[in-house]
């Protein structure tokens, strides 16, 4: 299966996870380096329980099964975990065959992939492979739930609040679930917040400095009041972030931004953020915002999966 995004980046994350579980250096999983076939695979001996109980010739065939209804996400990552593990251990590849498409809605008890190979290798990679699948499926499930509740007229976006090291994968899962990625990091979009405004002396000056430094990047400005939202639009923001506003204030801010955008002759998107809970989505959408952003997507509880033999 193809990787969900840039393969070297995926490999770095998988290497760290495998190294953590097996108690070795991440360098053991360097891309493109396959261990020589050993008489006994030393890396797999790091799973001390399995190595003690199962002979090397033992085989495993089973299925990865959803324990709850969710959006399946992370099947390419599950496969890559086993590719990297068996390459590093110098043993035959574990076969991973997906039974559903990436992003499919699955029900409790539904198998999503078949896994077979040397039992020591399958069990040594089981936890890491399932953890990625669980975390990413939980995020994709939340993204789909939120986007469906918000409706087609509102884009549900993630934020930079992700578990460290898992941002690219987390944002991939948001896309699989039907959500929209906000900026990837501090480098790919301008976002002028209250601290920047205070440091620059005014909203206008902060926007001016940001535009001068990076004229080709999209510019978003955080606003706390409808008046500040309108000012941000007039000063040239592409997006105005309406922060921690109640429903009535939000509707007023959207109207003020639209009026200002009409005066300047160029559209300006509005984004609701802060205090945005799932139960508020309908009201927020009714206020007319273009986007909603929440950390509830990337910090969603994992979906439950298990690996069942047979």
Active-site residue numbers? 127, 161, 193, 222, 243
Using DSSP bridges, classify how beta strands 95-98 and 111-118 pair: parallel, antiparallel or unpaired: antiparallel
Supply the DSSP symbol for 280.
G
32: helix, strand or coil:
coil
1 and 79 Cβ atoms separated by less than 8 Å:
yes
Q: Which long-range contacts (CB under 8 A, 24 or more apart) does 257-261 make?
A: 257/229, 257/230, 257/232, 257/233, 258/288, 259/230, 260/230, 260/231, 260/233, 260/234, 261/233
* Residue 147 structure tokens: 């986007």
Q: What are phi and psi of 97, to 5 degrees?
A: -120, 115
């Amino acid at each position: 299966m193809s990787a969900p995004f840039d393969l070297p980046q995926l490999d770095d994350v998988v290497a760290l996870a495998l190294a953590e579980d097996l108690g070795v250096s991440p360098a053991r999983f360097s891309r493109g380096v396959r261990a020589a076939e050993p008489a006994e695979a030393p890396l797999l001996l790091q799973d001390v329980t399995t190595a003690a109980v199962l002979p090397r010739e033992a085989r495993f065939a089973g299925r990865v099964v959803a324990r709850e209804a969710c959006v399946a996400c992370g099947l390419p990552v599950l496969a890559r975990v086993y590719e990297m593990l068996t390459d590093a251990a110098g043993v035959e590849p574990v076969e991973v065959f997906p039974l559903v498409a990436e992003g499919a809605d699955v029900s409790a008890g539904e198998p999503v992939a078949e896994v077979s190979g040397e039992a020591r290798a399958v069990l040594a990679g089981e936890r890491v492979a399932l953890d990625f699948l669980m975390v990413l499926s939980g995020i994709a499930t939340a993204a789909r739930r939120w986007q469906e509740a918000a409706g087609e007229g509102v884009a549900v976006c993630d934020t930079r609040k992700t578990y460290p090291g898992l941002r690219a994968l987390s944002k991939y899962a948001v896309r699989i679930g039907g959500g929209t990625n906000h900026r990837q990091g501090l480098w790919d979009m301008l976002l002028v917040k209250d601290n920047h405004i205070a440091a620059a002396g005014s909203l206008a000056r902060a926007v001016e400095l940001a535009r001068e430094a990076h004229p080709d990047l999209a510019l978003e400005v955080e606003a706390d009041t409808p008046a500040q939202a309108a000012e941000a639009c007039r000063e040239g923001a592409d997006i105005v972030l309406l922060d921690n506003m109640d429903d009535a204030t939000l509707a007023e801010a959207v109207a003020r931004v639209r009026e200002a955008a009409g005066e300047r002759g160029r559209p300006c998107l509005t984004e609701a953020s802060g205090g945005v809970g799932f139960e508020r989505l309908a009201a927020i959408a009714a206020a007319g915002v273009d986007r909603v952003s929440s950390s509830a997507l990337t910090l969603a509880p994992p979906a439950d999966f298990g690996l069942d033999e047979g």
